[in-house]
Amino acid sequence: MKDVKPSSLLNWLHDRRRLLESSTLRLVFDNLRAIFDLAVDDSLIPKNPCMTKSVQDVKPRRGGGGRAELTLSWEDTKKIRAEPPDRYKALVDCGRGLGLRQGEIFGLSPEDIGWTHPHGPMVHVQQQVVHDGSFLAYALPKGETTMPRRTAGSN
């Protein structure tokens, strides 16, 4: 964390604008800013690089428009998969291999995978994680309407 400078954040934001919708990039940036805020609170770093004027001037904003359509090749997703720690690589695999959205990936449960299906393993997308105000909640996948939302992590 100590090595992250405003200039590296600017480069990171520029690279992600090609790949992500503005609203998604804003959400990712807000989560990153919160992580750095906690690091400042814990005295791990002296200041939050997300809060510098240069980064604030280019941070994703509401209503900033969408990204241009971009199709990622398998090679592109291999490069993306190489970035996160090992424990998060399955998230990329679910997106690139199964075509799941972020919220659907976060809503997956071990019970959603049918390992003994006659045609091979089968994934049943039964819920997604969504924002409900300032809380995360479970909801049906897009297009479904009958499951009541409940706080993510609750039974």
Lowest mean pLDDT among 46-50, 68-72, 86-90, 108-112: 68-72
Over residues 113-128, the mean pLDDT reads 91
Q: DSSP labels for 80-126?
A: HHHSS-GGGHHHHHHHHHH---HHHHHH--GGGEETT-TTS-EE---
Over residues 128-154, the mean pLDDT reads 74
Predicted TM-score of the model (pTM): 0.51
